Structure 1
Amino acid sequence: MKKSKKLVVAMLMVMAMIVTMLVPTMAATTYTAVEGTSTTFKKYLVMDVNASVPSTTFKFTVSKGTAIPAVAASGTTPGTMEVLEGIGTPTIADVTFAAGQETFTSVQTGDSSVTLNTNQKYAKNTATISFAGIEFPEPGVYRYIVTETANTTAGITCDTTEKTLDVYVTDDGTGTLAVSSYVLHTGADAPVAGTDNGSNDVNQTGAALTDKIDGIQNAYGTHNLFVGKEVSGNQASRDKYFAVTVVISNLHDGDILNVSLANDQVAGTADGNADANSGTNAATTSANASKANVTTMTANASGTATATFYLQHGQYVAIQGLPTGAHYVVTEEAEDYKKTEGAPNVTATLVSGSGTHALDDPTSGDIADADVYTGYTNTRNGIIPTGIITKVGPVVGGAAILVVAIIILSAKSNKDEDEEEEA
């Protein structure tokens, strides 16, 4: 009996030792931190259908978000997940748009965060956020804040409101951590927990975050510049081509402005009515004859675009997509004509397609919140002398009549004298 008791005690001691050895081993199990990867979002730039994409660069910052404790569900009200403050400092590359890059007049498949109004189009690029070198030690939702830096490009309006980026780190069920998802959204609330306390947004089927976005949208505000010619006077030639020079500044290097010379039959576009090439005629100087009118203007390194157009009476060009804040100056070679600012009797068709506008705006100024219609009137008059026959004729005619009358009277007088002598 005593031997049996000793045997039982010995077995219990052995089991206790085994348990003692196992417990530290289990407690020592820890996660191996998982390194972040990278994620992307889209950068949309919306503009008028007449505009060209400007040369510009957008910058962003990424900072740590604020931690939010978990909230348990209460009745029919679901709980929310814990949000952890972000770790480390992610980097985000600049996003650059190039002049003349591809644009879209309708929302493309997958571009869920861009909105277009009538007569608008958009360009898009991709922003990349890198989490390289940042290690996440535990499962959880790590929060960061993405903010766009204000852009100084003329005409650009930025969305500088803070955007929330949540990084979901999960246990794959084997004790291994993985970065499961990056979610960009506009709100600051914690994710709603599902019935198993997991996020409805990532871990199970259910109502996703309603404020998720796939990108950030900016606007590029532009207007159009109409430049035309009016000719008047009794010695003025309406066939004559005049050289009109347009200088536009406060652009960016490489910016492209389209120029319309004729109606393209596309609704919502600014259209001109000028010739593609100036003609050759007796009134036009050789310097202005057979010259091509350009269809684009490109800004140089100092942000200035210059072009000379050759216009007859009643003609005008439409320079499209000038950004708000751009400065324009229109000059011309009037030759021996008198020039005055404005061409009030020449009208351009409004972009809306309904109505017209006289070319009576100033020939220099800044692009503000409306299209500009301007030009010059060239006048040449002469004092036309009347013909000498027309002017002197009545005097000569009167003198002739007087001479004839004198001759007749003289003849009659002589006849009377002869008759008296015979008597």
Structure 2
Amino acid sequence: MILTKKEGQFVMRADKKKFSTRLMAALMAGTLAAGMMGMNVSAAGVHSGNPITTIPVTKNVLTDGNTMAPNTTFEFEVAVADAGTFNDGNKDQVVYEGIAGGLTAETGAAFTPGGKGSAAETYTAEGFLKTDAAVFKRPGVYHYTVTEKANNYEGVTTDTTSYDVYVYVYNRTDGLYVGNVVSAKNGDKADLIFNNDYGQDENKDTTHDVVIKKVITGNQAVESDTFQLVVTVTGTAGEKYKVTLDNAEQNPLTSGEKATYTVTNNTEIHIYGLTEGDKVQAVEEANTQGYQATYTTGLSEGTLTISSDGSEATVTNTKNSTSPTGVILNYGPYILMIALAGSMAAFFFFKRNRKEA
């Protein structure tokens, strides 16, 4: 068949349209496959054949925004749970009792306090669970529970949530493998997330702050004089505390380490994120300006033990001066008059004696 130029153009357009259609179909198929591969842990019944060996567990620590991250690792516990049924959104699944070792806690969620400017309302870290298909003898859905271990970190509350975790074991030519894991809370699917209060809830009052104020007073005091104040916080090892000096944020204080601040009249050092039992010490370096330092309003020998929110302490420098004795001021003129009269009497007595002689 001989094609005209017009017909040839028509054939070329038809070929281009067919190629575009095939290309779009291929792209859609690839996108769908990639999406299904990413659903292994979140949607029951979907499995791509890729074994699932680790499952993330999210840990959130919630604060008032002025508390540094805790210096600790939160661990998780996995326990074997009973057989039964579970509706995964598609159908009721027959559930077997979990097999010991099939799902275990691998790593905890580790937190480390940061530096200046790192205080936040929420800190997030991940721990991981681990699956082991080798312990299963047959395919099926196996039931476990996941909880948080009590941490006992001062000021942090433990999340008592218990999650049901269902491990889907499938069969293939090379043996059994874990192809899907579904977590649920109170019967509904839910991500594995644990939240810990670390001073966010004011009603629980688990974290505290303290203000250390400098006062300069006395009839010889100069309010612009400066002093060096050495501050130490003793709390949990490695813990850090946000500090401001007259509302300007400083490098955080580390538990057990000294920090020196230059202060003057009405300067305020504000320390955040303390917990009950922490000790705050403020000691002034020796000065050569003749001031006497006293620690009042909460400080006993320079140390304050934290027990509640809004604690305050004052370091006062006093410099006064008085005349050596009050006698010179009050009786000086009379003493001078008596001394003068005595001198004159002695002079006339001496002169008289010389004439008589």
What is the TM-score with the length of structure 1 in the denominator?
0.55
Tell me what 1:94 maps to. Answer: 108
Tell me what 2:13 maps to. Answer: none
Q: Is contact 1:334–1:378 with CA below 8 Å preserved after alignment?
A: no
**Richer in strand (by share):** 2
From the superposition, tell whether residues 338 and 84 of structure 1 become closer, same or farther in structure 2 (CA, over 3 Å): same
Q: What is the CA–CA distance in structure 1 between the aligned matches of 2:149 and 2:57, rounded to whole Å?
A: 16
After TM superposition, give the deviation of residue 244 of structure 1 in Å. Answer: 1.8
**2:196 equivalent among 218, 223, 226:** 218
SS of the aligned residue for 2:100 comes to coil
Q: Is contact 2:52–2:179 with CA below 8 Å preserved after alignment?
A: no
Paired AA for residue 198 in structure 2? Y
After TM superposition, give the deviation of residue 395 of structure 1 in Å. Answer: 9.8
The number of residue pairs the alignment matches comes to: 276
Q: What is the CA–CA distance in structure 1 between the aligned matches of 2:280 and 2:335, rounded to whole Å?
A: 61
**2:73 equivalent among 53, 57, 60:** 57
Matched, 1:164 2:164: yes
From the superposition, tell whether residues 102 and 138 of structure 1 become closer, same or farther in structure 2 (CA, over 3 Å): farther
Q: What is the CA–CA distance in structure 1 between the aligned matches of 2:193 and 2:273, rounded to whole Å?
A: 24
Q: Which has the larger radius of gyration?
A: 1
Q: What is the CA–CA distance in structure 1 between the aligned matches of 2:304 and 2:96, rounded to whole Å?
A: 53
Where does the alignment leave 5 or more consecutive residues of structure 1 unmatched?
A: 1-33, 72-77, 106-119, 190-208, 265-270, 272-293, 343-358, 398-423
**2:273 equivalent among 314, 321, 332:** 321
Tell me what 1:338 maps to. Answer: 292
Q: What is the CA–CA distance in structure 1 between the aligned matches of 2:117 and 2:190, rounded to whole Å?
A: 24
**2:61 equivalent among 25, 45, 53:** 45
Paired AA for residue 183 in structure 2? L
Q: Is contact 2:209–2:274 with CA below 8 Å preserved after alignment?
A: yes
Paired AA for residue 249 in structure 1? T
After TM superposition, give the deviation of residue 316 of structure 1 in Å. Answer: 1.4
From the superposition, tell whether residues 338 and 244 of structure 1 become closer, same or farther in structure 2 (CA, over 3 Å): same
Q: Is contact 1:50–1:320 with CA below 8 Å preserved after alignment?
A: yes
After TM superposition, give the deviation of residue 216 of structure 1 in Å. Answer: 0.8
138-147 or 359-368: bigger deviation = 359-368
Q: Is contact 2:53–2:130 with CA below 8 Å preserved after alignment?
A: yes
Q: What is the CA–CA distance in structure 2 between the aligned matches of 1:216 and 1:317, rounded to whole Å?
A: 34
Deviations 1:280-326 (A, max 9, x none): xxxxxxxxxxxxxx533234xxxx13212221111111123224442
Where does the alignment leave 5 or more consecutive residues of structure 2 unmatched?
A: 1-49, 200-206, 338-357
Paired AA for residue 154 in structure 1? E
From the superposition, tell whether residues 163 and 297 of structure 1 become closer, same or farther in structure 2 (CA, over 3 Å): same
Q: What is the CA–CA distance in structure 1 between the aligned matches of 2:63 and 2:145, rounded to whole Å?
A: 27
Q: Is contact 2:134–2:176 with CA below 8 Å preserved after alignment?
A: no
Q: Is contact 1:231–1:237 with CA below 8 Å preserved after alignment?
A: yes
After TM superposition, give the deviation of residue 101 of structure 1 in Å. Answer: 8.0
Q: What is the CA–CA distance in structure 1 between the aligned matches of 2:320 and 2:123, rounded to whole Å?
A: 52
What is the TM-score with the length of structure 2 in the denominator?
0.64
**Richer in helix (by share):** 2
Q: What is the CA–CA distance in structure 2 between the aligned matches of 1:103 and 1:213, rounded to whole Å?
A: 30
Matched, 1:155 2:155: yes
Q: What is the CA–CA distance in structure 2 between the aligned matches of 1:389 and 1:171, rounded to whole Å?
A: 108
